[in-house]
């Protein structure tokens, strides 16, 4: 955690001071403090006085807290914390050799507009019903770009959902019972260890105890016996051992640990036996016992049988329009097939039940897979080496920029702080560059959607002494192959900069070309796009970076497990990032092979151009290459419809739901447009079905333009049409129910559960949690 904080703090000019919070003088140079609760040694500390002192001096208080421990401990928000962060892994998500896991981030109301990442809020729909939506999006990178509160795009939504269901299944009582059991067993272990002659460093703890071995011995003896019993402890030093328990730990396990500790010092082992009707005490200070209620919404008290939970999950599932219903044509998202054969390993204990810091001789299978994937992805990208540490595409961008920064430092060129970014770039590019401490200079685009080479050249020359890098996406976010890409890369290199290639659109490159062959220095890959890891709903993602030979020494490293270059920084807590999702990409690449992946790329481009050919007589296609073709995605310009019919692009997106389709990407990279990416996974019949829907919607717009349909009360402006609306006794629309809900004979019906949401109401009345039961 500390290493990741330091990596992120340095580019922002933030000095990180470590020390005992009760011995450190908080003065006017501090803007914030962060403490761990419980601590990394397991100790439970009363931070109330420290937090009060910091708050009195105007210093923000952050807390990294164990979510399960908070069922027993006074929550930080009640003793002065401004924000609380942590990991939800222990809520039913496998260790998975490091991930994926969802983090959590909570803050006081005053800081809500500075929060990073997605916020789901409550609003109302067109019929006055409650609806959920992404709230306060103007904070985010896709809108605010370099002024965003973070560079987060793909997060870990699926892992968060898993943790949420875990909380629902057990409820507040079940979670608290788990926490009590853990704490009691940890107390038994600590007490028995002390009886054997070990010293317990923590008078108060939750799940982790820190033991000092008896005088005259080292932890080596304990380690030898522990390995014989197939146990791993954490050996802080030659004298100290840290042992953590979890909700799967049984008394039998605790007794086996006691046996190991006894054997190590040649003492007899006596198993601990529970005494009936005796409730062991909690090992938490009385003043820190939690008294407030939590998880008060009815969902956390309602679904405690498999039948109830199964039906609730199904109720939620049918609200989603996912790939098992229809194609998801989100441009720049590559929502391709996630084949069942690729997904099977996620349920294997050999994949899920591995600690990220397990000894290397116990994870040889994982390491062999990662080594093979390093070799394969190096071949695909034309690079020398790969780092799997970044947990998303945006994290990959940031990691790549730290590599470039460290390279310039090694050359003594610390002044290189300018990043050139095309106006068409993904919002994560400027957000990541700002996070990396770079000054952003925007490069113009030409009318045909390509980078303005002369503007690029002029700016590269103007800033040649400070030029750090160019961030460029290929194919571009305008859906075309930059025909001058080689010239662009050469211009940057000639002026002392390096080239960061955004791999968001690698689905149009694999097997046909590569970042390395074009001369790029570093590139991230979205394994959750091009290489088949699912990311619907927002993640998880994996964003490994590949680098040319001169940058290998600067790849992300790790404080505990050497993984990258000798001059690299740590960008994630786990050495190999979200490693348990890597078997998906491994299976994808292994089954397709080089030839198959090349064919996939060709079909991705072919499918996009087929749709372009069918739609170009009905919609303006914004950008094409010199051959009149697009890459793997295209942009439909819908701006004219607002003038001719009062129809906005969001109205078309909502109307597509009535046709059984998820909307394409809305208003990116150009306002008033739809960016469509069909991927190689879709059959011709599905491509035609979407094209037919687009053409039919165009005819509905034409009805408005010709005065056949009312400009305000029409089938598009009223979309989407819910089942409740269509089945109501009264129908006051000037069109039929059939036209509203079944606009085409072959509509694969999806029923939206809410009408058009009121975005402004949701932001003005931000509500991020539901009423208590």
CATH of the domain at 647: 3.90.1150.10
Q: Which residues contact 478 (CB under 8 A, 6 or more apart)?
A: 424, 445, 449, 450, 622, 623, 635, 669, 670
**Using CA atoms, how far apart are residues 182 and 70, in angstroms rounded to an integer?**
13
Residue among 653, 671, 670, 651 at smallest CA distance from 662: 653
Neighbours of 358 (CB within 10 A): 15
Indicate whether 623 and 671 sit together in one domain.
Answer: yes
C-beta atoms surrounding 385 within 10 Å? 19
Segment 235-288, tens digit of pLDDT = 989 999 999 999 999 999 999 999 999 999 999 999 999 877 767 788 999 999
The answer to whether the CB of 160 falls within 8 A of the CB of 102 is yes
Domain interval for residue 519: 384-591
Domain endpoint, select from 240, 267, 288: 288
Question: Do the domain assignments include residue 360?
Answer: no
Q: Are residues 611 and 573 in the same domain?
A: no
Residue 331 within a domain: no
pLDDT of residue 772 exceeding 60:
no
Does 95 share its domain with 132?
Answer: yes
Q: Among 34-48, 110-124, 387-401, whose mean pLDDT is lowest?
A: 110-124
SS3 of 679, please? coil
Q: Are 204 and 187 in contact (CB under 8 A)?
A: no
Q: Tens digits of per-residue pLDDT, 709-761?
A: 999 999 999 999 999 999 999 999 999 999 999 999 877 899 999 999 988 88
CA 214 → CA 190, 205, 265, 599, distances in Å?
Answer: 14, 21, 8, 64
235 in any annotated domain? yes
pLDDT tops 90 at residue 44: yes
Whether 536 maps to a domain, the answer reads yes
131-145, 219-233, 582-596: the lowest-pLDDT one: 131-145
pLDDT tens digits for range 508-530: 999 999 999 999 999 999 999 99
Average pLDDT over residues 172-179: 98
Q: 247 with 268, same domain?
A: yes
Q: Is residue 359 part of a domain?
A: no
The answer to whether residue 765 sits within a structural domain is no
pLDDT of residue 771: 60
Give, rounded to a whole angstrom, the gap between the first and last alpha carbons of the chain: 36
State how many domains the chain has.
4
What was the pLDDT predicted at 768?
66
Whether the Cβ atoms of residue 16 and residue 5 lie closer than 8 Å to each other: yes
Phi-psi region of 458 (alpha: psi -120 to 50; beta: other; left: phi over 0): alpha
CATH of the domain at 470: 3.40.640.10
Is the Cβ–Cβ distance between 145 and 205 less than 8 Å? no
Does position 773 have pLDDT exceeding 50, yes or no?
A: no
- Mean pLDDT for the stretch of residues 203-218: 96
User: Do residues 157 and 320 lie in contact, with contact meaning Cβ atoms separated by under 8 Å?
Assistant: no
Q: According to the model, what pLDDT value does residue 769 have?
A: 60
pTM, entire model: 0.95
DSSP three-state, residue 695: helix
Structure tokens at 497: 């900069």
Bridging pattern class, strands 418-422 and 208-212: unpaired
Q: Is the distance from CB of 209 to CB of 189 less than 8 angstroms?
A: yes
Q: Is 113 among the domain residues? A: yes
**If pLDDT is split at 50, 70 and 90, which confidence band does 587 have?**
very high
pLDDT for the residue numbered 545: 98
Question: What was the pLDDT predicted at 496?
Answer: 98
Determine, yes or no, domain membership for 533: yes
Name the domain boundary from 84, 111, 146. Answer: 146
Rounded CA-CA distance 718/1 in Å is 49
């Amino acid at each position: 955690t500390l290493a990741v904080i330091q990596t992120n703090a340095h580019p922002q000019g933030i000095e990180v001071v470590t020390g005992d919070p009760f011995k450190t003088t908080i003065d006017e140079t501090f803007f914030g403090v962060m403490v761990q609760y419980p601590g990394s040694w397991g100790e439970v500390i009363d931070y109330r006085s420290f937090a009060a002192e910091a708050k009195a001096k105007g210093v923000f208080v952050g807390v990294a807290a164990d979510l399960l421990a908070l069922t027993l401990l006074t929550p930080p928000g009640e003793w002065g914390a401004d924000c609380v962060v942590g990991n939800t892994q222990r809520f039913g998500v496998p260790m998975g050799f490091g991930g994926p896991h969802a983090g959590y981030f909570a803050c006081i109301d005053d800081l809500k507009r500075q929060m990073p990442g997605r916020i789901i809020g409550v609003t109302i729909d067109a019929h006055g019903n409650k609806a959920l939506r992404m709230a306060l999006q103007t904070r985010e990178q896709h809108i605010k770009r370099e002024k965003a509160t973070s560079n987060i795009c793909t997060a870990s939504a699926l892992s968060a959902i898993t943790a949420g269901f875990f909380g629902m299944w057990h409820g507040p009582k079940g979670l608290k019972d788990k926490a009590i059991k853990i704490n009691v067993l940890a107390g038994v272990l600590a007490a028995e260890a002390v009886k054997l002659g070990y010293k317990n460093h923590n008078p108060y703890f939750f799940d982790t105890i820190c033991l000092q071995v008896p005088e005259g011995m080292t932890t080596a003896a304990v380690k030898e016996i522990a390995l014989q019993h197939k146990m791993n402890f954490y050996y802080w030093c030659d004298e100290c051992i840290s042992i953590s328990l979890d909700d799967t730990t049984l008394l039998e396990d605790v007794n086996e640990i006691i046996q190991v500790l006894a054997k190590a010092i040649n003492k007899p082992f006596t198993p601990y036996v529970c005494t009936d009707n005796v409730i062991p005490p909690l090992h938490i200070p009385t003043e820190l016992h939690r008294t407030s209620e939590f998880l008060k919404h009815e969902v956390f008290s309602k679904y405690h049988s498999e039948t109830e939970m199964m039906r609730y999950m199904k109720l939620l599932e049918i609200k989603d329009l996912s790939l098992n219903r229809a194609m998801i044509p989100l441009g720049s998202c590559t929502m391709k097939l996630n084949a069942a054969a690729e997904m099977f390993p996620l349920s294997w204990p050999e994949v899920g039940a591995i600690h990220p810091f397990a000894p290397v001789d116990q994870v040889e299978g994982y390491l062999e897979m990662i080594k093979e994937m390093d070799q394969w992805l190096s071949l695909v990208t034309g690079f020398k080496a790969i780092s799997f540490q970044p947990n998303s595409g945006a994290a990959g961008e940031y990691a790549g920029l730290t590599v470039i920064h460290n390279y310039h430092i090694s050359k003594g060129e610390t002044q290189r702080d300018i990043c050139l970014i095309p106006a068409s770039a993904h919002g994560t590019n400027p957000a990541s560059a700002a996070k990396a401490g770079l000054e952003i200079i925007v490069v113009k685009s030409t009318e045909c959607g390509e980078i303005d080479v002369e503007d690029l050249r002029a700016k590269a020359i103007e800033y040649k002494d400070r030029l750090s890098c160019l961030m460029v996406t290929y194919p571009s976010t305008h859906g075309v192959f930059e025909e001058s890409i080689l010239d662009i890369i050469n211009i940057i290199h000639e002026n002392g900069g390096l080239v960061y290639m955004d791999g968001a659109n690698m689905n149009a490159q694999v097997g046909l070309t590569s970042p390395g062959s074009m001369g790029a220095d570093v590139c991230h890959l979205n394994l959750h796009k091009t290489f088949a890891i699912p990311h619907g709903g927002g993640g998880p993602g994996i964003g490994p970076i590949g680098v040319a030979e001169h940058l290998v020494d600067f790849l992300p490293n790790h404080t505990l497990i050497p993984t990258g270059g000798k001059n690299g920084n740590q960008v994630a807590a786990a050495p190999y990032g979200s490693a348990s999702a890597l078997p998906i990409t491994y299976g994808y690449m292994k089954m397709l092979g080089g030839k198959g992946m090349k064919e996939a790329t060709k079909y991705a481009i072919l499918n996009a151009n087929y749709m372009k050919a069918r739609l170009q007589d009905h919609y303006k296609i914004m950008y094409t290459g010199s051959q009149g073709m697009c890459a793997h995605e295209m942009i439909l310009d819908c701006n004219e419809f607002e003038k001719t019919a009062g129809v906005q692009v969001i109205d078309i997106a909502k109307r597509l739901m009535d046709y059984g389709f998820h909307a394409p990407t809305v208003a990116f990279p150009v306002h008033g447009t739809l960016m469509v990416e069909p991927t190689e996974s879709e059959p011709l019949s599905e491509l035609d079905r979407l094209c037919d829907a687009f053409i039919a919607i165009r005819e509905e717009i034409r009805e408005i333009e010709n005065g056949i349909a009312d400009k305000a009360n029409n089938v598009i402006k009223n979309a989407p049409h819910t089942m409740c609306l269509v089945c109501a006794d009264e129908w006051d629309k000037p069109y039929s129910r059939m036209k509203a809900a079944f606009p085409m004979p072959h509509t694969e019906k999806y029923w939206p559960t809410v009408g058009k949401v009121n975005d402004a109401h949701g932001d003005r009345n931000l509500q991020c949690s539901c009423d208590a039961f």
